[in-house]
Amino acid sequence: MTPTPTLAVEAVSVDLGGRRVLTDASLRIHRGELVGLIGPNGAGKTTLLRAVLGLLTPARGRILIEGHPTRPGRTPIGYVPQRHDFAFDFPISVANVVATGLTGRLGLLRRPGAREWDAVAEALDRVRMSELADRPVGQLSGGQRQRVLVARALASQPSVLLLDEPFTGLDLPTQELLAELFVDLAHENRAVLMTTHDLVGALDTCDRIALLNRTVVATGTPSELAGDTEAWMTAFGIGADSALLRVLKAAA
């Protein structure tokens, strides 16, 4: 019997501003998988994540977590936004930023208790940031800020973790550290979906790749997709002589 996917996107279409930006997109992810969502700018990657979060209502199709419809603020989903989407200049400590990841569980008015602060401490330990718990987030490096956002997403102990371009603007050692962390988090019985422009890194790190351009063009393991030139040509609108295909062939 096929197990129920942790995250199921079933023939989802999404309209924004009267324009269809996703059409019949389908994707299934199980616990233990790190799946890379790859496509050109404007392909609908962030839109798909926002639909999974329940921030956008599909015009068609449905999204299920553990077989049930998503409920914004209630469904166990952790979300790591792009760093420029978070106000790091706000005067708040690292621990308090991580605690904001529990707002959906607590509500806006309830203060974190001992149980919640234990969850914050555990999340910070998981990303190796415990020693900086009391530091203002504005004093952190780019890589440290990204780890704080990951801890914030982990504080609620989600079964699904969404990562939106987590490597953008980071140096190579920090990218490698985070990639190892994301692999570990997936293998700790979570379903992890990551958008990224780092194609070679995704082929090296992810269990599966999903190519997206307004719909899911193809899915498969890195070895399956690395040689599927037609899928990459369709997803990126490139020709057979594209440098991208030569890079993929070399990485295969």
C-alpha 181: how far from chain center: 13
Percent of the chain at pLDDT > 90 equals 43
User: What's the pLDDT tens digit per position in 98-107?
Assistant: 988 887 665 5
Category of 92 on φ-ψ map: left (φ > 0), alpha (ψ -120 to 50) or beta:
beta
User: What's the pLDDT tens digit per position in 224-233?
Assistant: 888 888 998 8
In this predicted structure, what is the pLDDT of residue 18?
A: 87
Q: Which fold has domain 1-72+162-174+191-252?
A: Rossmann fold (3.40.50)
CA distance 160 to 96: 22
Q: What share of the chain is helix, strand, coil (3-state, %, to 5)?
A: 40, 25, 35
Query: What is the pTM (predicted TM-score) of this model?
Result: 0.89
Tokens of 227: 């040689």
The DSSP letter of residue 110 is P
CA distance 20 to 24: 10
Which of 206, 213, 194 is CA-nearest to residue 40? 213
CA distance 152 to 103: 10
CA distance 93 to 143: 16
Question: What are the domain boundaries of the chain?
Answer: 1-72+162-174+191-252, 77-157
Is residue 187 pLDDT above 80, yes or no? yes
What angle is formed at CA 180 by the lines to CA 164 and CA 171, rounded to 5 degrees? 65
Is residue 108 pLDDT above 60, yes or no? no
Which of 234, 193, 232, 202 is CA-nearest to residue 28? 193
Tokens of 89: 């200049």
**Confidence category of residue 177, pLDDT binned at 50, 70, 90:** confident
Is residue 81 pLDDT above 70, yes or no? yes
Q: Which residue has the tokens 């570990």?
A: 184
Q: Stretch 117-139: mean pLDDT, rounded?
A: 89
C-alpha 221: how far from chain center: 18
Residues paired with residue 162 on neighbouring β-strands, in sequence order: 79, 193
Q: State the amino acid at position 153 in one-letter form.
A: A
Of 60-69, 74-83, 138-147, the poorest mean pLDDT is in: 74-83
